[in-house]
Amino acid sequence: MKKSVKISALVLAVAMLFSVTAFAESGYAHTDKDLLAFAPKWEIIQADDTVISLVPGKCQGEINFAWLSRTEGEQFMLSENKDMSDAKSLQVVQMSAINGLISNNVTATDLEEGKTYYYSYTENGIFSEAEKITIQPDENFTALYISDAQIGRSGDEELKEVLVRDTCGWNFTVDKMMAKYPDAAFVISGGDQFQSPDSLVQMKAYLSPEELRSLPVANTIGNHDDDSTLYGDIFNNPNEVFELFKSEAGTGYFYTYGDSLFININTENTSLTDSERVIRKAVKAHPDKKWRVVTMHRNPYSASLSDNDFSDIRLLFSSLYDCYDIDLVLAGHDHLYSRTKVMYGGKEAEEGTVYLQTSSASGSNYDPLPEETASFIVSAFDTRVPTYTALTFGTDTIEISTYRTDTDEIIDSFDVEDNVADSKANCFTVIFSIFRTLFSMI
Containing 218, the helix (H) or strand (E) segment is strand 217-218
C-alpha dihedral sign at 104, 107, 204, 51: negative
Cα 51 from Cα 305, distance rounded (Å):
38
Q: How confident is the model at residue 124, as a pLDDT?
A: 80
Give the CA-trace dihedral at 333, 336, 341, 344, to 10 degrees.
-10
Q: How confident is the model at residue 68 (pLDDT cuts 50, 70, 90)?
A: very high
Interval 51-76 mean pLDDT: 96
Cα 219 from Cα 203, distance rounded (Å):
12
Q: Is the pLDDT of residue 346 over 90?
A: no
Q: Is the pLDDT of residue 270 over 90?
A: no
Helices (H), 314-354: 319-323
374-385 pLDDT tens trace: 899 999 988 789
| Mean pLDDT estimate for the chain | 89
User: What DSSP character marks residue 58?
Assistant: S
Q: Is the pLDDT of residue 21 over 60?
A: no
Q: Is the pLDDT of residue 48 over 70?
A: yes
C-alpha dihedral sign at 262, 381, 297, 316: positive
228: left (phi over 0), alpha (psi -120 to 50) or beta: beta
Q: Is the pLDDT of residue 8 over 50?
A: no
Cα 166 from Cα 152, distance rounded (Å):
6
Q: Is the pLDDT of residue 24 over 80?
A: no
Give 139 or 433, the one with higher predicted confidence.
Answer: 139
Cβ-Cβ contacts under 8 Å for 9 (sequence gap 6 or more) = none
Q: How confident is the model at residue 14 (pLDDT cuts 50, 70, 90)?
A: very low
119-149 pLDDT tens trace: 999 988 899 999 999 999 999 999 999 999 9
- Residues 287, 325 contacting (CB under 8 angstroms): no
Residue 179's CB: how many other CB atoms inside 10 A? 10
85 — phi, psi (to 5°)? -70, 150
128 — phi, psi (to 5°)? -75, 165
Cα 430 from Cα 325, distance rounded (Å):
12
Q: Is the pLDDT of residue 340 over 60?
A: yes
What is the amino acid identity at position 163? L
Interval 75-84 mean pLDDT: 97
Cβ-Cβ contacts under 8 Å for 172 (sequence gap 6 or more) = 28, 29, 30, 34, 386, 405
Q: How confident is the model at residue 430, as a pLDDT?
A: 62
Q: Is the pLDDT of residue 12 over 70?
A: no
What length is written for the chain? 442
Quick one: which of 194, 396, 384, 193 has its CA closest to 295? 193
Q: How many helices (H) and strands (E) does the chain have?
A: 10, 24
Radius of gyration of the chain (CA): 22
Q: How confident is the model at residue 13, as a pLDDT?
A: 41
Interval 339-347 mean pLDDT: 92
pTM of the model: 0.91
Q: How confident is the model at residue 441, as a pLDDT?
A: 56
- Residues 333, 148 contacting (CB under 8 angstroms): yes
User: What residues pair up with 203 in beta bridges, in sequence order?
Assistant: none
Q: How confident is the model at residue 437, as a pLDDT?
A: 60
Interval 55-63 mean pLDDT: 97
Q: Is the pLDDT of residue 22 over 60?
A: no
Cα 390 from Cα 96, distance rounded (Å):
36
Q: How confident is the model at residue 2, as a pLDDT?
A: 31
- Residues 354, 328 contacting (CB under 8 angstroms): yes
- Residues 340, 369 contacting (CB under 8 angstroms): no
